[in-house]
Amino acid sequence: MDKMKETYEAMLGLVAELVLDEAVLKFQTEKLNSAIDKALASGDEDTFYRLVKQLNELKH
């Protein structure tokens, strides 16, 4: 029974890690999208391309 409990706890830990990773990815994506929108609105082409590159790297 102890082995089953250890396995269950390990799986819970992995699920928690996946949920946290997804939340961080969503936060970073939203932050970059907001910054990209601001760069577009202000006509800052260099910042726009830099941020789009970061967003693409984040997705891969």
Residue 4 lies in a domain: no
Q: Is pLDDT at 4 greater than 70 in this prediction?
A: yes
- Residue 60's pLDDT is what? 85
Full domain range(s) for residue 34: 23-60
Residue 60 lies in a domain: yes
Residues in the chain, total: 60
End-to-end CA distance of the chain: 40
Residue 52, CA distances (Å) to 41, 42, 43 in order? 14, 15, 14
Residue 9 lies in a domain: no
Residue 56 lies in a domain: yes
pLDDT digits (tens, 9 = 90+) for 33-60: 999 999 999 999 999 999 999 999 998 8
Q: Is pLDDT at 1 greater than 80 in this prediction?
A: no
Q: Which helix (H) or strand (E) holds 7?
A: helix 2-42
Residue 12 lies in a domain: no
Cβ(36)–Cβ(52) below 8 Å: yes
